[in-house]
Amino acid sequence: MQNPIFDKTQLNSLFDELQKAKTILIFGHKSPDGDSIGSTLALHHYLTKKGIKSQVIHPDGFPNFLKWMPATDSILLFDKHKDQVTELIAKADVIFNLDYNEQSRVGRDLGELLVNSNATKVIIDHHQQPDDFATYTFSDTNSCSTAQLVYEFIESNNDLELLDETIGNCIYTGLLTDTGSFRFPSVTPKTHLIAADLISKGVIHSTIHEQLFDINTPERLKLLGYTLNNKLEVLPELNTAIISLTVKEMLDHKTQKGYTEGFVNTALSIFGVNLAVFVKEDTHIVKISFRSKGDIPVNEFSKLHFGGGGHINAAGGASKMSVEETVNKIKAELPAFLEQLKN
Ligand code: 5GP
Ligand code: MN
């Protein structure tokens, strides 16, 4: 069944603009994940098949385990190609915003360029509470991934026959990474029907799983071991687990980009734990990842205390305090937050 967010009149009007446009840009969010890279590339490959040129841009780099995806080498990164991206935005006719719904999610400087651009803006996204900045907002907060929405975008244009293995690989990656390998409550029968269709189009699911998840190096496993041995705190009375890492600890363990991906889910997998937090020091800021089970809205907690957001069961935020102070603030604020949920 087609997703009703893709209104036919809006789609027709958007495609009229795309046919006339000279410069079409497709943006994903900061610290891109599998859904951000997968959904932007899938849209790019689909538009290419329709004879429409586009350029994928991300604010900054992405983990090596996503680099096998077709055309990742054509992606422009704002932190590396600032001048080129600035020029492209200045002349852009259409700007797609995928897997985010507030322009600040691409970072401050790039966000400002987007805010000041007169291009026609399009949002395709599944996060809560979209900002009102786009001419076309295709938002479905119940969807498991933006990749699923890109599939449904293609479906609503009656273009599924254009969907090949290349587009399929990108969509499958977004589905898989944003659903924890089809395990989160956001997965629906439609998600599996889409996966089935992608496999029938030539996607080799076992290879994608290997490329995404069998990527450990001894260093990464040792970093995980160190984190669990030394930096895991379980708070049984709050059914919560907290892990943290400083820049120094990561440097000491030869940490590379993407190494800590999934650590927070390991904390959440502890029996009896239904809220997991990972506090990670970055160069200028401390990033926090929240994961939960059931109806604990970690996005609300993150918004309330760390200027962040995300989904009910997966959210992020940031703190200007030290790692230790951030952990202490979380421990101080959590009891009242969890208590108030009971009412
Ligand atoms: P992660 O913990 O994997 O970085 O992020 C989990 C989810 O929260 C993702 O869906 C991501 O888009 C969202 N998220 C992460 N950091 C932030 C943030 O600083 N602000 C907002 N609004 N969402 C975030
Ligand atoms: Mn996503």
- The verdict on residue 3 lying in a domain is no
CB 245 within 8 A of CB 210: no
Longest pairwise C-alpha distance within the chain: 60
Is residue 2 in some structural domain?
no
Q: What pLDDT is recorded for position 257?
A: 82
pLDDT of residue 207: 98
Residue 258 pLDDT:
82
**Do both 227 and 172 map to the same domain?**
no
The total number of residues written for the chain in this structure:
343
For the CA of 29, the closest atom of ligand 1 is: 12
Q: Is 58 in the pocket of ligand 1 (CB under 6 A)?
A: no
Q: Which amino acid is at 90?
A: A
Q: Domain end: 184, 213, 242, which one?
A: 213
Asked if residue 283 and residue 336 are part of one domain, the reply reads yes
How far from chain centre, in Å, is Cα 302? Answer: 16
List, as one string, the DSSP characters of 75-125.
-EETTT-HHHHHHHHHH-SEEEEES-SSGGGG-HHHHHHHHH--SEEEEEE
pTM: 0.90
**Same domain for 77 and 223?**
no
pLDDT of residue 282: 94
101 and 207 part of one domain: yes
How far apart CA 302 and CA 316 sit, in angstroms, is 6
- CA–CA gap between residue 47 and residue 15 (Å, rounded): 10
Torsion of CA 78, 84, 86, 92, to 10 degrees: -110
147, 178, 213 - which closes a domain:
213
Give the Cα separation of 40 and 124 in Å (integer). Answer: 10
Closest ligand to the CA of 308? 1
Query: Is the distance from CB of 127 to CB of 310 less than 8 angstroms?
Result: yes
Domain of residue 295, CATH code: 3.10.310.30
Amino acid residing at 335: P
Q: Is 1 contained in some domain? A: no
Final residue of a domain: which of 154, 181, 213?
213
Residue segments in the chain with a per-residue pLDDT below the cut of 50:
none
79 shares its domain with 187: yes
Count of domains forming the chain: 2
Residues 157, 12 share a domain: yes
In whole angstroms, give the CA distance from residue 228 to residue 209: 25
Residue 319 Cβ contacting ligand 1 at under 6 Å: no
Half-sphere exposure of 82 (CA within 13 A, CB side): 5
Which of 301, 311, 320, 326 for mutating ligand 1's site (highest number of atoms within 8 Å of CB)?
Answer: 311
Whole domain around residue 332: which residue ranges? 218-342
- Do 191 and 232 share a domain, yes or no? no
CATH number, domain containing residue 49: 3.90.1640.10
Please say whether the beta carbons of 305 and 289 come within 8 A: no
pLDDT value of position 20: 98
228, 266 in Cβ contact below 8 A? yes
Q: Are 162 and 154 in contact (CB under 8 A)?
A: yes
Residues 223 and 192 in one domain: no
